[in-house]
Amino acid sequence: MTTLPNGHVLTVTCASKRGIVAAISGKLAELGCNITDSAQYDDPATGMFFMRVTFIPETGADAQVLHDGFAPVGHAFDMAWAIHDQAHKMKVVLMVSRFGHCLNDLLYRWRIGALPIDIVAVVSNHMDYQKTVVNHDIPFHCIKVTKQNKPQAEAQIMDVVRETGAELIVLARYMQILSDEMCQNMSGRIINIHHSFLPSFKGANPYKQAFERGVKLIGATAHYVTADLDEGPIIEQDTVRITHAQSPEDYVSLGRDVEAAVLSRAIHAHIHHRVFINGNKTVVFPASPGSYASERMG
């Protein structure tokens, strides 16, 4: 049986104009590539064009050949573009405080291959999950954060990011507000799970806020982190129905599963290069066939 080279993902963002799709597909064919999945969106409000293409270089063209070959098309349409090797597992740092449901869910999905990432470190401001993390053979860093030492603590966190080569930070219920500087340095590379259906109920105690308003749906929102608290571009959301008879504590318990599912879906979309930032919103393309498959069941 012949083994084909690894697949690649091409991501494109540019101003909308006639001929983009034809130029992309034509160039990939010229480079000996077979397109296996394609999605595009032309935003009439902003005049921007977004496209994600998965393809296989059937003639064995390597990354440099693909990059050099596609560059003239990127230049002609003034594209922001990249070609990603699908075999590459993105290096991720997870951050957590004292609520461990998202961390444990991500560790399980990582272990069975449902989230094909390389977890290079877990950072926490508490020691609660040290044993859990170390038992997974992942480095654990306890970095305490106070008002007095916050700049030094963030410098330590960024040291971990640099030393591990991390490409993404995931705030898996990390209950500390990041500085503007850190948000800007990692723009588009920090995902947070907010235990509320944004844009409602921002800030602290959103479930309590929802309870006091008597809502009938509670939810969770995964978004990119920006300097504006809980205002970053939204990647994924979901809800669960509740009744008038449930307490604030019920809201917290019911929200756990939603938070874990929403966060994992957002990470899945990001690592597969399906998310495009479009101003203060996002374009999120559907998953390619086979991308949800796990290597094993447990």
For strands 217-224 and 190-194, give the pairing.
antiparallel
Q: 197, 239 in Cβ contact below 8 A?
A: yes
d(CA 213, CA 197): 13
Among 43, 105, 118, 230, the active-site one is: 230
Structure tokens at 156: 């330590």
| 230 tagged catalytic | yes
Which of the residues are catalytic? Answer: 230
